[in-house]
Amino acid sequence: MTCVNRGPRVKSELSGTAKSLYLGAMEQIQAPAAATTADSRTDLVGLNSDEITALTNEMGLPAYRGKQIYQWIYQHGLTDFNDMLNLSKKLREQLTEQFRIGRPTVNTELTSTDGTRKWVLGFGDHNEAEMVSIPEETRGTLCVSSQVGCTLTCSFCHTGTQRLVRNLTIGEVVGQVMLARDSYALWPASKDNSRLTNIVMMGMGEPLYNFENVAKALRIVMDGDGLAMSRRRVTLSTSGVVPGIKRCGDELGVMLAISLHAVRDDLRNELVPINKKYPIAELLDACREYATVSNSRRITFEYVMLKDVNDSVADARELVRLVKDIPSKVNLIPFNPWPGVEYECSSGNAIRRFADTISEGGMTATVRAPRGRDILAACGQLKSESVRQRRVATAG
């Protein structure tokens, strides 16, 4: 079935300032990455307390030493064993010989006119992913990536134009949070500071297609002896990987955001192609089940506002009908353009009408204020220059 009421789609253009910043950033990103020194030592970032203790047990150390090291790494943010002052000098030397405490490399850092910061992060294999910090008056949100590129091909999303390169490791996921804490001087982890209050798995990639690594990283983030962030302050966003939603509820119970973006299967098939595998009815059934998890709160349905595509009053009424029985709220996202995209953002009036219709239907609707558009740091704008390497056949 073909989609109707689409209207003309005109390629969106960035403003002159935004385009200049974007091109400048791309020049930096495209520069060859500096060669890294091979380091065969085991990186402890990404290991939990039991795993670090197992390593120290192999060294003949008592179990409490592993817990001490774990706390130095995740509660105090230390990257040098010599700073772990409750360990003997000899032990610190042994640890330095066998282990390291890594961080992603910052290849590029950009700051928006609105204060939003974007880091282009480099990893040991020279691949890159992006992380964004969004400051507000009383809170700070860190948008963390789960993959280099993305498994999905959502038509309105810049990340979706980048083929999946690989999943990020546990250490690369939790290392993003630790790097942000470094940048804002937020150690120890229990420090009360509004500059980083919330973690959202809404960066590059589909986190439920890297569930094992993301889940373990988030357990370290939420561990009282680790980064000590409240479960209520952690949100995982998915485009609708139905089996993973149940698993997320059973094993993590974090806040859940669903990238819905359409109320009809024919349109969502185009905007969010995973809908062909997990259609709207099946997705919403998974959400109803998730809402029964004792640790979960209201589900957030994310809905990008696309001019003449999904922004009619009829769409808003259907959205209310579909999700009203699910403890939830709707977050309307004004579309953020990127070079070459064919969609346009809905008008302010259209967004207000949509929000008012949802409110009249008895649901909560919020409109996300665009942040970081001038540096391509807003929702749906993230993308790195990493590409999947072709396998080279070798003669046998």
Active site residues: 130, 379
Query: What is the phi-psi region of residue 16: left when phi exceeds 0, alpha when psi lies from -120 to 50, beta otherwise?
Result: alpha
222 Cβ contact partners less than 8 Å away, ≥ 6 residues apart: 228, 229, 230, 231, 234, 254
- b or e along 8-45 (b: 16 or more beta carbons within 10 Å of the residue's beta carbon)? eeeebebeeebeebbeebbeebeeeeeeeeeeeeebbb
Between 170-184 and 211-222, two packed helices, what is the crossing angle to 10 degrees?
A: 40
What is the rounded CA–CA span in Å between residue 189 and residue 199? 14
- CB atoms near residue 79 (< 10 Å): 14
- Beta carbons of 237 and 200 less than 8 angstroms apart: yes
Strand 255-259 to 299-305 pairing: parallel
What is the rounded CA–CA span in Å between residue 323 and residue 157? 24
379 Cβ contact partners less than 8 Å away, ≥ 6 residues apart: 202, 304, 333, 336, 368
